[in-house]
Every structure is written in C-alpha cells, then in structure tokens.
Amino acid sequence: MMIQLRLFLTIMIIRIHAAVDPVITNVDPKHELLTEIAGRYRLAARHLRETQSSLPFELQFPIHDIIKIDGATNEIVIRATIRMDYQFEFLHWDSNDTRSRYHDIDEIVLTKSTLQSLWLPDLRFLDDESISFNIERESAKINRDG
C-alpha cells in the first residue's frame, strides 16, 4: 500500500510541473527572415540575373580622425569608415504584403558568420602596396529592397 501512494505522488508532481512550466518557443521574425533569405541565396557566389553585367554601387569614405602625419616618411594614419551601398536583386523580401509576417521589418543586421559567407564586391585602391588596413569592426545590413 505504501508503494502505491509514493507512485501516485510522483505522478502528480510530474503533472503539476508540466502544467506550470510549459515549453514555449518564440522565433524572432528577423532571424527567421535572415535564414530564409540566406537559404535562397547561394552563399559565396555573385548572384546577378545577367552574369556579365556590372553591379552599380555607391562608395563613401568619411575620415573621422587624423591620427598621425609624418612628412619624413610620408606616412599618414587616419581613422575612417568605408561604406559601400549596392543592391542584390535576390536579397530582398516583400514588404507590401501585409499578410506576410515580414511586412513590418525594414532592415536586418547580418550576423558575422552570414556576412563572411556572402559574396562581397572586391575593393582595391591604386598603389595599394603602400596602404595597410586595420579593420576594427565590420557590419552589414540588408534592407527590404535588397
């Protein structure tokens, strides 16, 4: 009789615990959208409808600080940002469809691993053997137009 009572109490405790602490999983819509977009896009490839076409882009190079100027060695050390804006026709989502769960998302900040796996345009400077870079931080985002 004592064994049956212990078994009954154990079952009751498990049932109460399961009822009080249900497992709820919330999926972040931005993370879900990023996963969907990256799945459509073949990573590390240049995706254009016309493979021989050029990719128009806008380049900005604002200088934030002049750290060092040395006339004897012709050395200039600056802190600057390189911003490159371009549009990929495959990296977009429908923002006009209000039935879509993504309609209110304007932009997605890419994770470092996703950024490293996407094809990025090559950026080179003339006389680049005399230029060196120390990248402090990289970031990228995709807006709804790609």
Record the pTM: 0.57
- Phi/psi-derived region of residue 74, left when phi > 0, alpha when psi is between -120 and 50, beta in every other case: left
Write the pLDDT tens digit of every residue in 80-131.
888 888 877 777 777 776 677 787 888 888 877 777 777 777 777 776 677 7
Q: How far apart are CA 69 and CA 74, in angstroms?
A: 8
Write the pLDDT tens digit of every residue in 19-73.
555 555 567 888 888 888 777 765 445 555 556 667 788 888 888 898 888 889 8
Q: Which residue has the tokens 């380049």?
A: 59
Which residue type, as a one-letter code, is found at position 62?
Answer: P
Q: Structural domain boundaries of the chain? A: 27-143
